[in-house]
Amino acid sequence: MRQRKIKDLDCKLQNLSEFIVSEPEAARGKWNEIFGNNNPIFVEIGCGKGQFINAHSMLYPNRNYVGIEGQDSVILRALEKTAATESRAKQLNCDDSREKGLSGNIMYINKFVGDITEIFASRELCGVYLNFSDPWPKDRHAKRRLMHVDRLRSYFRVLEENSFVEIKTDNEELFEFALMQIKEGGHFIEEITRDLKASEFKAKNITTEYEDKFMLEGKNINYVKIRA
């Protein structure tokens, strides 16, 4: 989807740079130092406007979250959500704001990431979320899909033992592709449904902007959670 041009975009991003890790490759193996704690780290690749990852950071204050998004105009909206949360914490003057889920546990990478192992070290993550990823529908672009078997293997190289990858998509063809790649990679399917809203899985409780839109249109949400 083509994004509207935002006036003074670079300046707005700079004003929110405290939430951006500008050299993520240099952070490899040091993410807990960046967050200033030893809490588990979870990543959303393609975090969009940040509804999903910000909701997670509020609900789980004892976890750290990294949102990855390459489109400047889109990540700006995610950053603004996080900044608003930070502002709320300051207004409340809460010394224990981190424990209350008001701030401090979310950072962003403002770029498209090709190889996640260049940014995170072995066993540095505890979960990866792939929500409504670009389907790259042409066959010649299959390796660009975030659930290609090579990508799945790379995620598990940086995940702790028994950690997970969760996938949501409204795209039936992409979901079928994902299932084939999961089978090829030999990964264990822990949860799966072609209608997440009607399921009992907790993954339905926190949604993305796209997810809300598609459900209003009556589309089913495909979902699968895998482990190594």
Residue at token pair 């995940």 = 159
What's the rounded Cα separation, in Å, for the pair 59 and 57?
6
Cα dihedral 76, 82, 88, 91 sign: negative
Dig out the tokens for 86 from the structure: 């930070």
Catalytic annotation, pick one of 10, 72, 134, 195: 134
Q: Write down the H helix ranges in 66-199.
A: 72-92, 149-158, 172-185
Strands 188-193, 159-169: pairing kind: unpaired
Annotation says 10 is catalytic: no
User: 169: closest CA among 128, 124, 210, 110?
Assistant: 210
Active site residues: 134
